[in-house]
């Protein structure tokens, strides 16, 4: 696999001011690379900042601090022309196939909008391109003049995928693309995403809360907790050898559809809920729920360190003086 980075995320922060002296630190200093042609999975529980991270990386939110470097250029410093070029090369697929399609536009209008903005095809070539895209995602040509409400959830998600592919992007942020769909339909959409990746050499940032699905589709996985990345590793490695206590608990909480496995499993049940990201305490974000919390965790924020080749962990348990 080509290991050159398409995107470097450098100490990216996104804070929201939610009231007087109240700052919601949705994304609080995350750093990672996304390699060309890979799928990087971003997992975490609701409110951990994974969607905000995805939206900031693609430029839908203005970053509070830090940088996103796409193919060597920082998207924060781009001028108008560069920005337009970036939006052609990076696209997004959204979670809710009901809310992310304009109900008053036909499928042709929805899929063709990007083509028009970037002036890629005109006239008959444009129509042919739209038909081609519909074929590609498993829809019929007859669907071209229909409105979104005439489609099922799975079909709508296919329209969303066709829209993202219309302008031949290199990078797609998939923000929970299947969590609104039924199990038997989820597999259809995931297989489609994988086939398209192979065909066009796409790079994905796949955001989801479903760990089984993320492991299934990703080459590498980053685990987020309260705005920070606590662990990042190749997906098989992360599953076999989780090093952060949160990753361990998260993996053990996922039920496996096999009664024999379930009977012989020991669960790590975490106490309590995810704390609020508004004005979080100093130190490790996971300290309040961590079964292995130490004194240092309450004072010093652990850094994300490469403990083994390609396996990054942010935890004081692996500091030299604590071993």
Residues in contact with another protein by CB under 8 A are 45-46, 152, 154, 182-188, 190-191, 194, 209, 211-213, 215-216, 235-236, 239, 249-262, 267, 269-270, 273-274
In whole angstroms, how close is the CB of 64 to another protein at the nearest point? Answer: 25
Minimum distance between the CB of residue 211 and another protein, rounded to whole angstroms? Answer: 6
Angle between helices 107-117 and 123-136 (to 10 degrees): 120
> Rounded to the nearest whole angstrom, what is the least distance from the CB of residue 46 to another protein in the complex?
6
Q: Is 144 helix (H, G, I), strand (E, B) or coil?
A: helix
Residue closer to another protein (CB basis): 26 or 75: 26
C-beta closer to another protein: residue 98 or 239? 239
Choose between 62 and 183: whose C-beta lies nearer to another protein. 183
What are the structure tokens assigned to 216, written together?
């299934």
> Given the complex with another protein, which of 259 and 282 has the nearer CB atom?
259
- Which CB sits closer to another protein, 256 or 300? 256
CA torsion 136-140-144-150 (nearest 10°) is -120
State which residue, 17 or 236, has the beta carbon closest to another protein. Answer: 236
Q: What's the min distance (Å) between Cβ of 205 and another protein?
A: 18
In a 3-state reduction of DSSP, which class is residue 31?
strand
For the CB of residue 48, give the shortest distance to another protein in the complex, in Å. 9
Query: Tokens 């959204």 map to which residue?
Result: 94
Closest contact distance (angstroms) between CB of 178 and another protein is 10
Rounded Cα gap, residues 113 and 87, in angstroms:
13
Distance from C-alpha of 82 to C-alpha of 150, rounded to nearest angstrom = 37
- Measured CA to CA, the distance from residue 210 to residue 217 in angstroms comes to 11
Concatenate the DSSP letters of all residues of 71-89 into one string: TTEEGGG--HHHHHHHHHH
| Structural contact between residues 170 and 203, judged by C-beta atoms closer than 8 angstroms | yes
Q: Which is nearer to another protein, 122 or 241 (CB)?
A: 241
User: Residue 3 has what DSSP assignment?
Assistant: -
CA distance 218 to 225: 19
Cα distance between residue 23 and residue 14, in whole Å: 10
CB 196 to another protein: min, Å: 15
């Amino acid at each position: 696999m080509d290991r050159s980075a398409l995107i470097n995320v450098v100490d990216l922060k996104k804070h929201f001011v939610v009231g007087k002296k109240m700052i919601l630190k949705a994304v609080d200093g995350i750093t990672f690379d996304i390699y060309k042609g890979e799928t990087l999975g971003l997992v975490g529980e609701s409110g951990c900042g994974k969607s905000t991270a995805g939206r900031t990386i693609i430029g839908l939110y203005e970053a509070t601090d830090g940088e996103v470097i796409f193919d060597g250029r920082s998207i924060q410093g781009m001028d108008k022309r560069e920005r337009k070029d970036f939006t052609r090369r990076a696209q997004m697929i959204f979670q809710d196939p009901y809310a992310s399609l304009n109900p008053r536009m036909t499928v042709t209008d929805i899929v063709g909008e990007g083509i028009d903005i970037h002036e890629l095809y005109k006239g008959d070539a444009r129509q042919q391109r739209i038909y081609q895209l519909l074929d590609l995602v498993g829809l019929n040509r007859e669907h071209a003049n229909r409105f979104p409400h005439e489609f099922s959830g799975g079909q709508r998600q296919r329209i969303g995928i066709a829209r993202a592919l219309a302008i031949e992007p290199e990078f797609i942020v998939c923000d929970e693309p299947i969590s609104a769909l039924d199990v038997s339909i989820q597999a259809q959409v995931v297989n489609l995403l994988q086939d398209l990746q192979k065909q066009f050499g796409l790079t994905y940032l796949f955001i989801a809360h479903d760990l089984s699905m993320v492991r299934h589709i990703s080459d590498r996985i980053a685990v987020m907790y309260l705005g920070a990345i606590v662990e990042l590793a190749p997906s098989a490695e992360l599953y076999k050898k989780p090093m952060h206590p949160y990753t361990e608990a998260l993996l053990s909480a996922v039920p496996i559809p096999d009664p024999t496995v379930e009977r012989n499993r020991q669960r790590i049940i975490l106490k309590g809920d995810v704390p609020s990201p508004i004005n979080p305490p100093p130190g490790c974000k996971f300290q309040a729920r961590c079964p292995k919390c130490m004194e240092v965790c309450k004072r010093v924020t652990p850094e994300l360190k490469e403990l083994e080749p390609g396996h990054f962990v942010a935890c004081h348990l692996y500091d030299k003086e604590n071993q």
